[in-house]
Amino acid sequence: MPPTERDPSRSSINAPTSYLSNVSNFKIIESTLREGEQFANAFFTTEKKIEIAKALDDFGVEYLELTSPAASTQSYNDCKAIVGLGLKAKILTHVRCHMDDARLAVETGVDGLDVVIGTSSYLREFSHGKDMQYIIDTATEVIQYIKGEGLEVRFSSEDSFRSDIVDLLNLYRAVDKLGVNRVGIADTVGCASPDQVAELVRTLRGVVSCDIECHFHNDTGCAIANAYAALQNGATHVDTSVLGIGERNGIPSLGGFIARMYAADKEHVKAKYNLPKLREIENIVADAVGVAVPFNNYITGYCAFTHKAGIHAKAILNNPSTYEILRPEDFGMTRYVAIGHRLTGWNAVKNRVDQLGLGLTDSDCKRVTNKIKNLADIRPLSLDDVDKLLRMYGQAMDTDSHHAILDSIDTPDQITGM
């Protein structure tokens, strides 16, 4: 493929492609209404849950995971309310491996149950206090009940990466034989690395025939990378939450995960999901939990498509793919080239001159750029400041006083006050 036709969202360094890879065949289990409720600031009213559920459904996620109906009376009622919306997404609820929880969840009318129990020595000793045989026996009872009700069932270990691998695989093998739709692995404390994830998922893929769901916490900053490594090695489903909210530092953010998958297979992601909806969803959730969307947030952050350095700006203006792996237009976003600072370049200034319809030559643009740099050593200029300066310079050209105008300005405040 000629260089001009290369997909700019793809790296030219090709990673080995495994026959196990599901990078172009994955499903999102969106857990804002379950994991997200565990975020420190989170409190979602029924109305807000419905708003979030509808927005995520419009975005196109395949599953919505809700807080266990056993958590509270309102949680039970909220499950029923969201089930009653008739959304395209399948509705799941996350429950303990316990018959009472399972029965209550089935009553709500959900499409499936995500069953979980701790398997690491830490959780077996300090949480539920049960041994592996008890876990297998209880899982068998709960899974058979759910399947008997005709619902989807996922069985997941908790704290998978600190669990004994032999215990873990024996458990997964047992539940796979029972016919679960998915088994789940959970990096509950965020300790895993992508290499460790790849190894466990590959091993698990050789043990079970069902789908594999992955749940990664972000305590050490690897959640999205771990999700991607999991898909590369045979996982099929990934848990996300809007803005990554959840217990402690949360899990893969929906936007960050989408950005990663877009870079892997842009056309697949564009076809599956309503990408321009992402900003609206994030604003809804950010407002609901009382936080701002971070300045460096994937895709929608203030700085995500802002370009500043002169050499970057010149290239971006010539071809945006030079410094953008994601196309802002695909997400309903726009790029911004900042020019009122000491790092600005004359190409960026010239672009603004053209936008304003001013008849400045390249030489004029370079002269004004030098003035902007000098003024910006005192403080950055706003776009209004830059526009005033450019217009004053352009108007003064009629009387041949444009050089004198520049020479008369020594501080940014002189422009602001005009």
Which residue type is seen at 4? T
Q: Which residues are catalytic?
A: 312
If residue 363 lies in a helix (H) or strand (E), which one and from where to where?
Answer: helix 362-376
Segment 151-161 shows an average pLDDT of 93
What pLDDT is attached to residue 112? 98
The answer to whether 117 and 158 have CB atoms below 8 angstroms apart is yes
Q: At what angle do helices 165-177 and 194-205 cross, to 10 degrees?
A: 40
Q: What is the mean pLDDT of residues 282-311?
A: 94
User: In terms of DSSP H, where are the helices of 108-206?
Assistant: 121-126, 132-148, 165-177, 194-205
pLDDT at 13: 62
Which residues touch 126 (CB under 8 Å, ≥6 apart)? none
- Residue 88 burial (CB < 10 Å; 0-12/13-18/19+)? exposed
What is the pTM (predicted TM-score) of this model?
0.90
- Hey, is 241 helix, strand or coil? strand
| pLDDT of 14 higher than 90 | no
Convert the pLDDT of each residue in 311-340 to its tens digit. 888 888 888 888 999 999 999 999 988 999
Find, among 349, 367, 353, 365, the residue nearest to 409 by Cα.
367
> What pLDDT score was predicted for residue 5?
58
Residue 136 exposed, middle or buried by CB count within 10 Å (0-12, 13-18, 19+): middle
pLDDT band for 376, please (50, 70, 90 cuts): very high
For residue 188, with 0-12 CB atoms within 10 Å meaning exposed, 13-18 middle and 19 or more buried, which class applies?
A: buried
pLDDT in tens, 193-202: 999 999 999 9
